Amino acid sequence: MHMFTAEVRVRLIAVLFSILSIQIIGLSQGVIDLKAPPPMASIFAKNFVSDECGNRDMAISPDGNELFYTLQYRSGFALSVIMHTKKVKGKWTKPKVAFFSGQYADLEPAYSPDGQKLYFSSNRPIDANSKKDFDIWYIAKMNNEWTNPVHMKSPVNSDKNEFYPSVTRSGTIYFTREMSGRDEDIVYCRFLNELYDTAISLPEVINSSGAEFNAYIDPDENFIVYTAYKRKGNIGSGDLYISYKDSAGNWQTSANMGNAINGTGLTYCPYVSPDKKSFFFASSREVFKFPFENPKKIKEIKALTAGVSNGWDNIYWVDAKAWIK
């Protein structure tokens, strides 16, 4: 009888914990206010968007009611899916795998400025005989519903890997491409007469012989933010840099965004919200230091390794006014 009572008690506690967890998720939904970015870089939507897995990339719809991001498990592309949440009756739905993702390595969602297309990078096959490198794809809205993914043709995609699309109001697409004889460059294709022009690498004030990647382009092409990997003067292994155009339309020398943004490890995946109030980025910076200052019990260690601060990449956000001119 005592053992049965204890078992019932355990089950009741489990049920109460589940109810409490649901309530906590509900609270998380209510507190995501995209119009109120913090003054200092902070983990975004902790325990809701940013969780115990690796989280990176942001894409917010122009009306602010839909949000896509990437969830990755382990390094590289061991598992990479695009997640989706939307605002319903003032609250954000629990994130789930986007309808077009969950089978192949998908990442880096990016809205067109009018919200009618969502671009992303994927290694899904084009057809039964195609090799699985990373290319840029998109889904489009028709009658307010998303269509199935469409593969972008040459000259946007090539026999090299293409990543991190970002699109301007004029239709020009900026993205990362692997380059022969060097690492990665940020390139763009102009959209002219309903066709994409040849891909062109950005000038040396942005690209170098090293690796530059993950560029967010301002829809009006007034500024660009990107990652430079192992560049001299970096704070971490990869830092975010920003470049503005001058009055003649030329890109100016890039500036490191400093300690307010960059930290230990890799800082990447820059993104500015459609209202230009929030600046988002991903970071692999240290979230706890080891060796510990004092000995920890296994319960404390497991809590660290199972939570948001377990060392996987997180999405951060901060007020954008210091950089958006």
Q: How confident is the model at residue 194 (pLDDT cuts 50, 70, 90)?
A: confident
> What's the pLDDT at 76?
66
What average pLDDT does the chain have?
Answer: 87
> What's the pLDDT at 3?
37
The pLDDT tens digits for 50-103 are 888 889 999 999 999 999 999 988 666 778 999 999 999 889 999 999 999 999
Whether the Cβ atoms of residue 114 and residue 62 lie closer than 8 Å to each other: yes
Best-predicted range by mean pLDDT among 87-96, 167-176, 297-306?
167-176
Residue among 164, 282, 277, 276 nearest 220 (CA) = 276
Q: How confident is the model at residue 25 (pLDDT cuts 50, 70, 90)?
A: very low
Spatial distance between the Cα atoms of 142 and 138, rounded to a whole number of angstroms: 13
The pLDDT tens digits for 124-147 are 998 877 767 999 999 999 998 999
Q: Which CATH superfamily is domain 45-319 in?
A: Glycosyl hydrolase domain; family 43 (2.115.10.20)
Spatial distance between the Cα atoms of 172 and 200, rounded to a whole number of angstroms: 11
In the chain, domain spans? 45-319
The pLDDT tens digits for 207-259 are 998 899 999 999 999 999 999 998 999 999 999 999 999 999 999 999 999 99
- Residue 23's φ and ψ, nearest 5 degrees, are -65, -40
Spatial distance between the Cα atoms of 20 and 51, rounded to a whole number of angstroms: 18
